[in-house]
């Protein structure tokens, strides 16, 4: 990946920060469904735990005195005082969240939690006063044991969630740790060691053999090979020469070079990768919205059931019993497991993806995979290496040799970085052909290049362009070259054919696996390419792609995306600016090996490596993530659906009443199951080892 989004498009994370100061990062808000103003969650959890311990020691659990419990004169009031402090301090994050939800008239997770602990606290204070002052012993002594453990369990659960979220941040954070502390800055021709954090764009830096590159930059002197495995996941050594870009954090090989710094701090590659992951975590998925809707439904359901149960038991029983049942319903309705169901899974999924150079910019993309019907993909650079080799050069003028044609081609392409241009320039260099001087070189959109040579108009264009301009060419020769898998371009001078060049590309090793995987998942692969029909057909036949559309302009690709969307959800896989409109239009846009800002901005998923195998890994990760989300939603919501009516006494005629103690234990167990289930999300080990 050559570039990442520009500074002003990112949130500006300073990668020079102390990456070990994780506690401070716990102050960040958790999002719409989480604790809105939670303060330092870690400190709050530990203080709440300390306050909980004496409550556990001095308070019976639902009337059952445990062996380690101690009671004495005034212990009930001491517990009430500690419980009040815990209720206000430990419960404050839930009240803040509930206030925000109710203000928007959308009660959800925090509203349910706040309602549950509020009712438990109010009942417990009532129980203490009734027992000690009025000598009226309630059916349940108090709920302080349950109140304390509920608050601590919920804070612990959110602490676990924050840890899981920070895992994804830590995965990127670990990349930032690759940056060395000191850089060798070139000042007036002398090397001066400075802190990496003090580097600014434009500084000249020397990097010695074996050192880590201190910042993003461009080589200006020397050459080397660079190991970018810990940054991009690409294990092979990458040769770097003058004008080549390097990424901060990569490991220099045997050579020593000087570079000009192009990105530091917020503008560096690693900082922007971190921001991509952060943005992905903060975006809200459809199922997370569904979880909030479920919680909102439970809020009204629990409140309604509690009111009905209170009235019913008040009629058939007495006030203490009615209060006990109503409180039990509201305590059990607390949806902590449901609140963690989606965030934990997504945090784990994002963590796995970030460690492997797979950046999920839009979390909805994970869930949309299950609905995909078509996978539209570019050919060059996506399915093929994009490393073209000149297989044939020909002249249509007896007075002009093949080397002269190659010189003209190289002159036109000398300022281009297109794969076809690279192939021509490489061939010219190999044959010691000096590129001709071409002036006023401009691009012909979707067709080729034009320029001026010795006062004559010169063009390098496709066969489709010749046909459109009604310029006759040898169709039989073209078919022969194209059928062999070549991309064929034509040289014209003053509108007359002057020569041609045929270049061949190679399939990427994992392209076959990608197509096979798509078919196994009932996703129809479709090739969209600007190349000629014959070459596209050759590649499609090799890969087993039955649907293809060739000789397309960028707007044509976007049009096909819209057409296929009429038949089902579409995934678009592309590698650059030409694919940006299609990437933005598709339900799932994957930028593979993208080298431009616009490709990243348009895609839902960005793959650091230009490897089709990563698309396979993304599909696997997406399906497993969605599966875990569904499982956790069932664990979270299913518990409430069963426990609320039982707590209300629906089976009382059969002699069964759900004890609040049992309900609290089951709720805690449900939370633990959700957390463990989320943490078991994983994909094939080989991908884990690549990072």
DSSP, residue by residue, 327-365? HHHHHHT--HHHHHHHHHHHHHHHHHHHHTTEEES-THH
The kind and range of the H/E element at 137 are none
Is the pLDDT higher at 173 or at 103?
A: 103
In the numeric block, the tokens 């707590």 are attached to: 647
Read off the tokens for 403: 């080397």
Q: What is the pTM of this model?
A: 0.57
Task: Identify the band that residue 139 occupies on the pLDDT scale cut at 50, 70 and 90.
Answer: low
Contacts of 489 (CB under 8 A, 6+ apart): 409, 420, 448, 460, 461, 462, 500, 501, 503
Residues 354-400: tens digit of each pLDDT:
777 777 777 778 888 989 999 998 887 778 876 778 989 999 988 89
Answer yes or no: are the C-beta atoms of 389 and 485 closer than 8 Å.
no
Residue whose C-alpha is closest to residue 618's, from 506, 509, 523: 523
Read off the tokens for 264: 């530091």
Task: Identify the band that residue 41 occupies on the pLDDT scale cut at 50, 70 and 90.
Answer: confident
Residue 136, pLDDT score: 62
For the chain, give the percent of residues with pLDDT over 70: 75
Residues 435-491: tens digit of each pLDDT:
999 988 887 766 788 899 998 999 999 888 898 888 999 998 988 888 877 889 999
Answer yes or no: are the C-beta atoms of 449 and 459 closer than 8 Å.
yes
Read off the tokens for 570: 């579409």
Residue 162, pLDDT score: 57
Residue 674, pLDDT score: 85
Q: Domains of the chain (ranges plus CATH)?
A: 22-173+278-350+628-679 (no CATH), 179-276 (2.70.150.10), 363-384+508-603 (3.40.50.1000), 389-504 (3.40.1110.10)
Tell me the β-bridge partners of 489. Answer: 462, 501
Residue 62, pLDDT score: 52
Q: Is the pLDDT assigned to residue 191 strictly greater than 60?
A: yes
Distance of CA 254 to the CA centre of its chain: 35
From CA 626, how far away is CA 360, in angstroms rounded? 14
* Exposed / middle / buried, residue 522 (Cβ in 10 Å: 0-12, 13-18, 19+): exposed
Contacts of 289 (CB under 8 A, 6+ apart): none
List residues with catalytic annotation. 378
From CA 158, how far away is CA 92, in angstroms rounded? 14
Residues 389-416: tens digit of each pLDDT:
898 999 998 889 999 999 999 999 886 6
H helix intervals, 237-333: 269-282, 286-316, 319-332
Residue whose C-alpha is closest to residue 532's, from 491, 485, 497, 499: 485
Conformational region of residue 18, where left means phi above 0, alpha means psi within -120 to 50, and beta covers everything else:
beta
Task: Identify the band that residue 202 occupies on the pLDDT scale cut at 50, 70 and 90.
Answer: very high
Q: Which of 46-60, 132-146, 264-278, 448-462 has the lowest mean pLDDT?
A: 264-278
Is the pLDDT higher at 151 or at 624?
A: 624
Residues 231-261: tens digit of each pLDDT:
543 444 567 888 888 888 788 887 889 999 9
From CA 583, how far away is CA 602, in angstroms rounded? 6
């Amino acid at each position: 990946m050559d570039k990442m989004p520009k500074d002003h498009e990112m949130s500006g994370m300073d990668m020079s920060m102390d990456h070990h100061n994780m506690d401070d990062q716990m102050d960040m808000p958790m999002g719409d469904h989480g604790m809105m103003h939670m303060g330092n969650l870690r400190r709050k959890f530990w203080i709440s735990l300390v306050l909980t311990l004496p409550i556990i020691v001095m308070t019976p659990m639902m009337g059952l005195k445990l062996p380690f419990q101690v009671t004495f004169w005034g212990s009930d009031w001491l517990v009430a005082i500690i419980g009040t402090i815990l209720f206000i301090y430990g419960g404050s994050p839930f009240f803040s969240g509930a206030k925000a939800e109710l203000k928007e008239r959308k009660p959800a997770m925090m509203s349910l939690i706040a309602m549950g602990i509020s009712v438990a606290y109010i009942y417990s204070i009532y129980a203490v006063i009734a027992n000690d002052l009025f000598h009226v012993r309630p059916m349940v002594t108090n709920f302080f044991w349950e109140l304390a453990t509920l608050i601590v369990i919920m804070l612990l659960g959110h602490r676990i969630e924050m840890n899981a979220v920070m895992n994804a941040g830590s995965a990127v954070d670990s990349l930032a740790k690759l940056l060395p502390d000191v850089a060798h800055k070139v000042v007036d021709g002398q090397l001066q060691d400075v802190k990496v954090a003090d580097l600014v764009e434009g500084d000249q830096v020397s990097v010695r053999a074996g050192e880590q590159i201190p910042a993003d930059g461009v080589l200006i002197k020397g050459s080397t090979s660079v190991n970018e495995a810990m940054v991009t996941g690409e294990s092979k050594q990458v040769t770097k020469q003058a004008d080549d870009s390097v990424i901060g954090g990569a490991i220099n090989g045997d050579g020593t070079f000087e570079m000009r710094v192009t990105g530091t701090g917020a503008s560096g590659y690693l900082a922007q990768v971190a921001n991509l992951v952060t943005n992905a975590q903060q975006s809200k998925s459809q199922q997370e919205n569904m979880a909030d809707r479920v919680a909102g439904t439970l809020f009204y359901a629990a409140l309604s059931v509690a009111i009905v149960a209170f009235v019913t038991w008040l009629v058939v029983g007495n006030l203490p019993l009615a209060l006990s049942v109503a409180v039990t319903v509201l305590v059990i309705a607390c949806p902590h497991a449901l609140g963690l169901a989606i965030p934990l899974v997504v945090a784990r999924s994002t963590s796995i993806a970030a460690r492997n150079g797979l950046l999920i910019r839009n979390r909805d993309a994970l869930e949309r995979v299950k609905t995909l019907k078509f996978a539209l993909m570019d050919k060059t650079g996506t399915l093929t290496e994009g490393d073209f080799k000149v297989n044939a050069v020909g002249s249509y003028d007896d007075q002009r040799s093949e080397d002269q044609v190659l010189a003209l081609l190289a002159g036109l392409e000398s300022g281009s970085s297109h794969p076809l241009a690279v192939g021509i320039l490489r061939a010219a260099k190999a044959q010691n052909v000096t590129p001709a001087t071409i002036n006023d070189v401009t691009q012909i959109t979707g067709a080729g290049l034009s320029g001026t040579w010795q006062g004559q108009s010169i063009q390098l264009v496709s066969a489709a362009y010749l046909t459109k301009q009604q310029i006759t060419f040898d169709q039989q020769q073209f078919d022969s070259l194209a059928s062999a898998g070549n991309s064929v371009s034509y040289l014209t001078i003053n509108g007359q054919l002057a020569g041609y060049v045929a270049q061949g590309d190679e399939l990427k090793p994992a392209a076959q696996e990608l197509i096979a995987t798509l078919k196994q998942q009932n996703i129809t692969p479709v090739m969209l390419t600007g190349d000629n029909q014959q070459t596209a057909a050759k590649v499609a036949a090799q890969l087993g792609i039955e649907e293809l559309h060739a000789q397309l302009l960028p707007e044509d690709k976007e049009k096909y995306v819209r057409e296929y969307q009429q038949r089902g959800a579409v995934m678009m896989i592309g590698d650059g600016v030409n694919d940006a409109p299609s990437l933005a239009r598709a339900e799932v846009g994957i930028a593979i090996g993208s080298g431009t800002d616009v490709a990243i901005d348009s895609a839902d998923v960005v793959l650091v490596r230009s490897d089709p195998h990563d698309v396979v890994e993304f599909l696997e990760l997406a399906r497993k993530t969605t599966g875990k989300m569904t499982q956790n939603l069932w664990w979270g919501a299913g518990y409430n659906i069963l426990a609320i009516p039982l707590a209300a006494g629906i089976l009382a005629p059969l002699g069964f009443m759900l004890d609040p103690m049992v309900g609290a234990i089951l709720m805690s167990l449900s939370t633990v199951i959700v957390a463990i289930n989320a943490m078991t999300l994983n994909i094939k080990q080989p991908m884990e080892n690549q990072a």
